[in-house]
Chain A
Protein backbone atom coordinates (compact mmCIF):
# COMPACT_ATOMS: atom_id res chain seq x y z
CA UNK A 1 0.00 0.00 0.00
CA UNK A 2 2.74 2.40 1.01
CA UNK A 3 4.52 1.41 -2.15
CA UNK A 4 1.46 2.32 -4.24
CA UNK A 5 1.17 5.65 -2.40
CA UNK A 6 4.77 6.66 -3.03
CA UNK A 7 4.90 5.52 -6.65
CA UNK A 8 3.55 7.78 -9.40
CA UNK A 9 0.11 6.80 -10.69
CA UNK A 10 -0.74 6.01 -14.32
CA UNK A 11 -3.19 8.25 -16.16
CA UNK A 12 -6.07 5.79 -15.82
CA UNK A 13 -5.87 6.06 -12.03
CA UNK A 14 -5.27 9.81 -11.66
CA UNK A 15 -7.66 10.95 -14.41
CA UNK A 16 -10.87 9.24 -13.24
CA UNK A 17 -10.28 10.32 -9.62
CA UNK A 18 -9.94 13.92 -10.78
CA UNK A 19 -13.11 13.56 -12.85
CA UNK A 20 -15.01 12.43 -9.75
CA UNK A 21 -14.36 15.78 -8.06
CA UNK A 22 -16.99 17.35 -10.33
CA UNK A 23 -19.98 15.23 -9.20
CA UNK A 24 -18.76 14.98 -5.60
CA UNK A 25 -18.54 18.78 -5.19
CA UNK A 26 -21.88 19.26 -6.93
CA UNK A 27 -23.61 16.69 -4.73
CA UNK A 28 -22.06 17.85 -1.48
CA UNK A 29 -23.14 21.44 -1.82
CA UNK A 30 -23.71 22.56 -5.41
CA UNK A 31 -20.12 23.75 -5.72
CA UNK A 32 -18.39 23.97 -9.06
CA UNK A 33 -14.97 22.36 -9.32
CA UNK A 34 -12.52 25.10 -10.36
CA UNK A 35 -9.28 26.12 -8.68
CA UNK A 36 -8.42 29.45 -10.34
CA UNK A 37 -11.45 31.17 -8.73
CA UNK A 38 -9.34 31.10 -5.59
CA UNK A 39 -6.95 33.67 -7.03
CA UNK A 40 -9.93 36.00 -7.42
CA UNK A 41 -11.31 35.16 -3.97
CA UNK A 42 -7.89 35.87 -2.47
CA UNK A 43 -7.72 39.26 -4.22
CA UNK A 44 -11.26 40.03 -3.02
CA UNK A 45 -10.28 39.08 0.53
CA UNK A 46 -6.90 40.84 0.63
CA UNK A 47 -7.06 43.92 -1.55
CA UNK A 48 -10.40 44.56 -3.29
CA UNK A 49 -10.02 48.37 -3.33
CA UNK A 50 -12.80 49.80 -5.50
CA UNK A 51 -12.42 47.23 -8.29
CA UNK A 52 -15.91 45.93 -9.15
CA UNK A 53 -14.52 42.47 -10.03
CA UNK A 54 -13.47 42.01 -6.39
CA UNK A 55 -16.47 43.59 -4.66
CA UNK A 56 -18.60 40.60 -3.73
CA UNK A 57 -19.18 38.37 -0.75
CA UNK A 58 -16.10 36.19 -1.13
CA UNK A 59 -16.90 34.24 2.02
CA UNK A 60 -20.22 33.08 0.62
CA UNK A 61 -18.89 32.43 -2.86
CA UNK A 62 -15.44 31.16 -2.13
CA UNK A 63 -14.62 30.25 1.45
CA UNK A 64 -15.22 26.58 0.67
CA UNK A 65 -12.86 26.85 -2.31
CA UNK A 66 -10.11 28.68 -0.40
CA UNK A 67 -10.22 25.92 2.20
CA UNK A 68 -10.07 23.39 -0.68
CA UNK A 69 -6.95 25.20 -1.98
CA UNK A 70 -5.37 25.07 1.47
CA UNK A 71 -6.04 21.34 1.33
CA UNK A 72 -4.22 21.17 -2.03
CA UNK A 73 -1.12 22.67 -0.38
CA UNK A 74 -1.26 20.02 2.34
CA UNK A 75 -1.92 17.29 -0.23
CA UNK A 76 1.13 18.53 -2.13
CA UNK A 77 3.17 18.16 1.05
CA UNK A 78 1.90 14.63 1.68
CA UNK A 79 2.42 13.53 -1.92
CA UNK A 80 5.58 15.49 -2.68
CA UNK A 81 7.44 15.29 0.62
CA UNK A 82 6.11 12.60 2.99
CA UNK A 83 5.34 10.05 0.28
CA UNK A 84 7.63 11.45 -2.40
CA UNK A 85 8.54 9.37 -5.41
CA UNK A 86 12.29 8.71 -5.03
CA UNK A 87 12.71 8.24 -8.80
CA UNK A 88 12.93 11.00 -11.42
CA UNK A 89 9.74 11.68 -13.38
CA UNK A 90 9.70 9.05 -16.12
CA UNK A 91 9.29 11.34 -19.12
CA UNK A 92 9.80 10.21 -22.70
CA UNK A 93 13.41 9.89 -23.88
CA UNK A 94 12.80 12.42 -26.69
CA UNK A 95 11.52 15.01 -24.22
CA UNK A 96 14.52 14.47 -22.02
CA UNK A 97 16.88 14.88 -24.95
CA UNK A 98 15.15 18.04 -26.17
CA UNK A 99 15.17 19.59 -22.71
CA UNK A 100 18.82 18.65 -22.24
CA UNK A 101 19.56 20.44 -25.53
CA UNK A 102 17.92 23.53 -24.00
CA UNK A 103 20.33 23.30 -21.09
CA UNK A 104 18.23 21.47 -18.50
CA UNK A 105 20.53 19.03 -16.70
CA UNK A 106 18.82 18.20 -13.40
CA UNK A 107 16.00 15.72 -13.98
CA UNK A 108 15.77 14.44 -10.40
CA UNK A 109 12.77 16.32 -8.98
CA UNK A 110 9.18 17.08 -10.00
CA UNK A 111 10.43 20.32 -11.55
CA UNK A 112 13.90 21.36 -12.79
CA UNK A 113 15.90 22.98 -10.03
CA UNK A 114 17.66 25.20 -12.57
CA UNK A 115 14.37 27.03 -13.13
CA UNK A 116 12.55 26.79 -9.81
CA UNK A 117 15.06 26.44 -6.98
CA UNK A 118 16.13 29.31 -4.69
CA UNK A 119 19.19 30.14 -6.76
CA UNK A 120 17.06 30.28 -9.92
CA UNK A 121 15.22 33.29 -8.49
CA UNK A 122 18.39 35.31 -9.00
CA UNK A 123 18.73 34.49 -12.69
CA UNK A 124 16.78 36.26 -15.45
CA UNK A 125 15.62 32.89 -16.84
CA UNK A 126 14.31 31.83 -13.46
CA UNK A 127 12.56 35.13 -12.85
CA UNK A 128 10.82 35.08 -16.23
CA UNK A 129 9.62 31.50 -15.93
CA UNK A 130 8.45 31.96 -12.36
CA UNK A 131 7.21 35.51 -11.88
CA UNK A 132 6.10 36.31 -15.43
CA UNK A 133 4.78 32.76 -15.88
CA UNK A 134 2.79 33.05 -12.67
CA UNK A 135 1.48 36.46 -13.71
CA UNK A 136 0.26 35.04 -17.04
CA UNK A 137 -1.43 32.15 -15.22
CA UNK A 138 -3.30 34.63 -13.01
CA UNK A 139 -4.21 37.10 -15.74
CA UNK A 140 -5.15 34.41 -18.27
CA UNK A 141 -7.34 32.33 -15.96
CA UNK A 142 -9.14 35.41 -14.67
CA UNK A 143 -9.72 36.64 -18.23
CA UNK A 144 -10.82 33.22 -19.49
CA UNK A 145 -12.87 32.64 -16.34
CA UNK A 146 -11.31 29.31 -15.50
CA UNK A 147 -8.30 27.04 -15.76
CA UNK A 148 -7.61 23.38 -16.38
CA UNK A 149 -10.07 22.33 -13.67
CA UNK A 150 -12.83 24.86 -14.34
CA UNK A 151 -12.74 24.77 -18.14
CA UNK A 152 -10.90 21.62 -19.22
CA UNK A 153 -12.63 19.33 -16.71
CA UNK A 154 -15.83 20.95 -15.35
CA UNK A 155 -16.64 22.93 -18.49
CA UNK A 156 -15.93 20.22 -21.07
CA UNK A 157 -17.83 17.70 -18.91
CA UNK A 158 -20.87 20.00 -19.15
CA UNK A 159 -20.32 20.32 -22.94
CA UNK A 160 -19.70 24.07 -22.78
CA UNK A 161 -18.56 25.68 -26.03
CA UNK A 162 -16.79 28.53 -24.15
CA UNK A 163 -14.72 25.93 -22.32
CA UNK A 164 -13.75 24.23 -25.57
CA UNK A 165 -12.56 27.61 -26.92
CA UNK A 166 -10.61 28.18 -23.71
CA UNK A 167 -8.98 24.74 -23.82
CA UNK A 168 -7.94 25.27 -27.44
CA UNK A 169 -6.46 28.58 -26.27
CA UNK A 170 -4.58 26.80 -23.45
CA UNK A 171 -2.87 24.57 -25.99
CA UNK A 172 -2.11 27.33 -28.47
CA UNK A 173 -0.48 29.33 -25.66
CA UNK A 174 1.35 26.28 -24.36
CA UNK A 175 2.75 25.42 -27.78
CA UNK A 176 3.86 29.03 -28.27
CA UNK A 177 5.63 29.06 -24.92
CA UNK A 178 7.22 25.65 -25.49
CA UNK A 179 8.54 26.20 -29.00
CA UNK A 180 9.08 29.98 -29.14
CA UNK A 181 9.38 31.55 -25.70
CA UNK A 182 11.27 28.84 -23.79
CA UNK A 183 14.07 28.44 -26.36
CA UNK A 184 14.49 32.23 -26.25
CA UNK A 185 14.63 32.32 -22.45
CA UNK A 186 16.88 29.31 -22.08
CA UNK A 187 19.01 30.37 -25.01
CA UNK A 188 19.18 26.84 -26.37
Chain B
Protein backbone atom coordinates (compact mmCIF):
# COMPACT_ATOMS: atom_id res chain seq x y z
CA UNK B 1 0.00 0.00 0.00
CA UNK B 2 2.76 2.39 0.97
CA UNK B 3 4.58 1.59 -2.26
CA UNK B 4 1.41 2.15 -4.19
CA UNK B 5 0.87 5.54 -2.60
CA UNK B 6 4.42 6.45 -3.37
CA UNK B 7 4.17 5.63 -7.07
CA UNK B 8 0.91 7.54 -7.28
CA UNK B 9 2.56 10.56 -5.71
CA UNK B 10 5.50 10.17 -8.04
CA UNK B 11 3.25 9.94 -11.06
CA UNK B 12 1.39 13.06 -9.98
CA UNK B 13 4.57 15.00 -9.40
CA UNK B 14 5.88 13.88 -12.76
CA UNK B 15 2.71 14.97 -14.46
CA UNK B 16 2.99 18.35 -12.84
CA UNK B 17 6.40 18.75 -14.36
CA UNK B 18 4.85 17.64 -17.61
CA UNK B 19 7.76 15.31 -18.22
CA UNK B 20 8.62 12.12 -16.53
CA UNK B 21 7.41 9.63 -14.06
CA UNK B 22 9.91 10.34 -11.34
CA UNK B 23 9.17 12.92 -8.67
CA UNK B 24 10.18 16.41 -9.66
CA UNK B 25 9.66 19.69 -7.88
CA UNK B 26 6.32 21.17 -8.81
CA UNK B 27 6.53 24.30 -10.93
CA UNK B 28 4.38 27.29 -10.09
CA UNK B 29 1.94 26.58 -12.87
CA UNK B 30 0.14 23.65 -11.32
CA UNK B 31 -3.23 25.29 -11.52
CA UNK B 32 -5.57 24.45 -14.33
CA UNK B 33 -5.55 26.84 -17.26
CA UNK B 34 -8.95 28.34 -18.04
CA UNK B 35 -10.85 30.56 -20.46
CA UNK B 36 -8.81 33.17 -22.21
CA UNK B 37 -5.59 31.56 -21.06
CA UNK B 38 -6.52 28.42 -23.01
CA UNK B 39 -7.08 30.53 -26.11
CA UNK B 40 -3.51 31.81 -25.82
CA UNK B 41 -2.18 28.23 -25.61
CA UNK B 42 -4.31 27.28 -28.58
CA UNK B 43 -2.93 30.18 -30.62
CA UNK B 44 0.63 29.27 -29.64
CA UNK B 45 -0.08 25.69 -30.70
CA UNK B 46 -1.30 26.89 -34.10
CA UNK B 47 1.90 28.89 -34.52
CA UNK B 48 4.02 25.90 -33.45
CA UNK B 49 2.25 23.55 -35.87
CA UNK B 50 2.69 26.09 -38.64
CA UNK B 51 6.42 26.44 -37.95
CA UNK B 52 6.81 22.64 -37.82
CA UNK B 53 5.37 22.42 -41.33
CA UNK B 54 7.17 25.48 -42.75
CA UNK B 55 10.49 24.31 -41.32
CA UNK B 56 9.68 20.90 -42.87
CA UNK B 57 10.39 19.29 -39.51
CA UNK B 58 7.32 17.12 -40.12
CA UNK B 59 8.74 15.73 -43.35
CA UNK B 60 9.76 12.06 -43.39
CA UNK B 61 12.16 13.04 -46.21
CA UNK B 62 13.88 15.63 -44.01
CA UNK B 63 14.17 13.16 -41.12
CA UNK B 64 15.78 10.64 -43.47
CA UNK B 65 18.15 13.32 -44.74
CA UNK B 66 19.08 14.14 -41.14
CA UNK B 67 19.79 10.54 -40.09
CA UNK B 68 21.82 10.04 -43.27
CA UNK B 69 23.80 13.16 -42.29
CA UNK B 70 23.25 14.63 -45.74
CA UNK B 71 22.06 18.11 -44.83
CA UNK B 72 22.58 20.69 -42.13
CA UNK B 73 18.93 21.75 -42.14
CA UNK B 74 17.55 19.72 -39.20
CA UNK B 75 20.73 20.12 -37.17
CA UNK B 76 20.59 23.86 -37.77
CA UNK B 77 16.99 23.98 -36.56
CA UNK B 78 17.78 21.98 -33.45
CA UNK B 79 20.95 23.87 -32.56
CA UNK B 80 19.50 27.33 -33.13
CA UNK B 81 16.38 26.37 -31.15
CA UNK B 82 18.50 25.14 -28.23
CA UNK B 83 20.68 28.25 -28.41
CA UNK B 84 17.72 30.65 -28.31
CA UNK B 85 15.93 28.64 -25.60
CA UNK B 86 19.13 28.21 -23.58
CA UNK B 87 20.06 31.90 -23.64
CA UNK B 88 16.46 32.79 -22.71
CA UNK B 89 16.43 30.37 -19.78
CA UNK B 90 19.82 31.63 -18.60
CA UNK B 91 18.59 35.24 -18.74
CA UNK B 92 15.38 34.35 -16.90
CA UNK B 93 17.42 32.70 -14.13
CA UNK B 94 20.11 35.39 -14.01
CA UNK B 95 17.65 38.25 -13.63
CA UNK B 96 14.98 36.36 -11.72
CA UNK B 97 12.37 37.23 -14.34
CA UNK B 98 8.82 36.56 -13.08
CA UNK B 99 5.86 35.12 -14.96
CA UNK B 100 3.02 37.39 -16.09
CA UNK B 101 1.26 36.55 -12.81
CA UNK B 102 4.31 37.63 -10.84
CA UNK B 103 5.28 34.09 -9.84
CA UNK B 104 8.93 33.05 -9.88
CA UNK B 105 9.78 30.93 -12.93
CA UNK B 106 10.37 27.35 -11.82
CA UNK B 107 12.05 24.77 -14.06
CA UNK B 108 12.04 21.42 -12.29
CA UNK B 109 15.25 19.53 -12.99
CA UNK B 110 15.02 16.01 -14.29
CA UNK B 111 16.02 13.15 -12.03
CA UNK B 112 18.95 11.21 -13.48
CA UNK B 113 18.57 8.04 -11.39
CA UNK B 114 20.42 5.25 -13.12
CA UNK B 115 19.80 6.97 -16.42
CA UNK B 116 18.44 3.78 -18.00
CA UNK B 117 15.08 5.30 -18.88
CA UNK B 118 16.67 8.13 -20.85
CA UNK B 119 18.97 5.92 -22.91
CA UNK B 120 16.58 3.02 -23.52
CA UNK B 121 13.49 5.19 -23.88
CA UNK B 122 15.47 7.52 -26.11
CA UNK B 123 16.58 4.71 -28.43
CA UNK B 124 13.02 3.36 -28.64
CA UNK B 125 11.67 6.80 -29.52
CA UNK B 126 14.48 7.27 -32.05
CA UNK B 127 13.44 4.07 -33.83
CA UNK B 128 9.85 5.28 -34.03
CA UNK B 129 10.95 8.78 -35.07
CA UNK B 130 12.85 7.47 -38.10
CA UNK B 131 10.10 4.99 -39.05
CA UNK B 132 7.20 7.44 -38.91
CA UNK B 133 9.38 10.44 -39.74
CA UNK B 134 7.46 12.18 -36.98
CA UNK B 135 8.08 13.25 -33.41
CA UNK B 136 4.93 13.76 -31.31
CA UNK B 137 4.53 17.39 -32.42
CA UNK B 138 4.85 16.34 -36.05
CA UNK B 139 2.27 13.59 -35.57
CA UNK B 140 -0.32 16.20 -34.61
CA UNK B 141 0.74 18.62 -37.36
CA UNK B 142 0.60 15.89 -40.02
CA UNK B 143 -2.90 14.86 -38.95
CA UNK B 144 -3.87 18.47 -39.62
CA UNK B 145 -2.02 18.42 -42.94
CA UNK B 146 -4.27 15.61 -44.07
CA UNK B 147 -1.76 12.75 -44.05
CA UNK B 148 -4.26 9.96 -43.51
CA UNK B 149 -1.91 7.34 -42.11
CA UNK B 150 -0.82 9.59 -39.26
CA UNK B 151 -4.11 9.12 -37.43
CA UNK B 152 -3.15 5.48 -37.10
CA UNK B 153 0.30 6.50 -35.87
CA UNK B 154 -1.36 8.60 -33.16
CA UNK B 155 -3.41 5.56 -32.13
CA UNK B 156 -0.18 3.56 -32.02
CA UNK B 157 1.51 6.27 -29.95
CA UNK B 158 -1.36 6.30 -27.44
CA UNK B 159 -1.17 2.51 -27.19
CA UNK B 160 2.59 2.70 -26.64
CA UNK B 161 2.22 5.34 -23.94
CA UNK B 162 -0.50 3.32 -22.24
CA UNK B 163 1.54 0.14 -22.28
CA UNK B 164 4.50 2.00 -20.79
CA UNK B 165 2.26 3.27 -17.98
CA UNK B 166 1.04 -0.27 -17.36
CA UNK B 167 4.55 -1.81 -17.37
CA UNK B 168 6.20 1.08 -15.57
CA UNK B 169 6.53 -0.57 -12.13
CA UNK B 170 8.42 -3.46 -13.75
CA UNK B 171 10.77 -1.46 -15.98
CA UNK B 172 14.25 -0.28 -14.96
CA UNK B 173 14.59 3.47 -14.66
Q: Which residue numbers of A lie inside 8 Å of B, CB to CB?
A: 5, 7-44, 46-47, 51-65, 67-81, 84, 89, 91-92, 94-95, 98-99, 107, 109-112, 115-118, 120-121, 126, 128-163, 165-179, 181-182, 185
- Cβ proximity bits B1-45 to A, threshold 8 Å, 1 near / 0 not: 000100110111011111111100001111111000110111111
Tally of B interface residues using CB under 8 Å: 138
Q: Collect the chain A residues with CB atoms within 8 Å of residue B141's CB.
A: 72-73, 75-76, 79-80
When the two chains form their complex, are residues A72 and B159 in contact, meaning their CB atoms are under 8 A apart? no
When the two chains form their complex, are residues A75 and B29 in contact, meaning their CB atoms are under 8 A apart? no
Q: What's the minimum C-beta distance from A96 to chain B, rounded to whole angstroms?
A: 8
Q: Collect the chain B residues with CB atoms within 8 Å of residue A19's CB.
A: 80-86, 88
A169, B106: Cα distance in complex, Å:
27
Nearest chain A residue, comparing its CB with the CB of B29: A30
In the complex with contacts A11-B73, A61-B30, A116-B60 CB distance below 8 A: yes
A97, B36: Cα distance in complex, Å:
49
- Our pick among A22, A29, A167, A172 for the contact of B37 (Cβ within 8 Å) is A29
When the two chains form their complex, are residues A138 and B156 in contact, meaning their CB atoms are under 8 A apart? yes
When the two chains form their complex, are residues A53 and B99 in contact, meaning their CB atoms are under 8 A apart? no
When the two chains form their complex, are residues A64 and B19 in contact, meaning their CB atoms are under 8 A apart? no
Interface of B is mostly: helix
Nearest chain A residue, comparing its CB with the CB of B57: A14
When the two chains form their complex, are residues A20 and B67 in contact, meaning their CB atoms are under 8 A apart? no
When the two chains form their complex, are residues B157 and A68 in contact, meaning their CB atoms are under 8 A apart? no
When the two chains form their complex, are residues A43 and B119 in contact, meaning their CB atoms are under 8 A apart? no
Pair count A-B, CB < 8 A: 586
A17, B68: Cα distance in complex, Å:
25
A81, B146: Cα distance in complex, Å:
8
Nearest chain B residue, comparing its CB with the CB of A68: B45
Q: Which parts of B116-165 form the interface with A (CB within 8 Å)?
A: 117-137, 139-150, 152-165
When the two chains form their complex, are residues B125 and A67 in contact, meaning their CB atoms are under 8 A apart? no
When the two chains form their complex, are residues A168 and B127 in contact, meaning their CB atoms are under 8 A apart? no
- Our pick among B45, B49, B109, B112 for the contact of A158 (Cβ within 8 Å) is B109
Q: Collect the chain B residues with CB atoms within 8 Å of residue A117's CB.
A: 148-149
A130, B86: Cα distance in complex, Å:
33
A167, B155: Cα distance in complex, Å:
24
In the complex with contacts A14-B57, A29-B33, A99-B61, A21-B67 CB distance below 8 A: no
In the complex with contacts A27-B97, A35-B136, A177-B127, A11-B55 CB distance below 8 A: yes
Nearest chain A residue, comparing its CB with the CB of B30: A60
When the two chains form their complex, are residues A182 and B145 in contact, meaning their CB atoms are under 8 A apart? no
A118, B41: Cα distance in complex, Å:
32
A161, B114: Cα distance in complex, Å:
12
- The 14 sampled A-B contact pairs (Cβ below 8 Å) are A32-B27, A35-B135, A36-B136, A65-B41, A99-B64, A136-B131, A137-B129, A137-B153, A138-B162, A141-B125, A143-B164, A157-B86, A158-B109, A163-B110
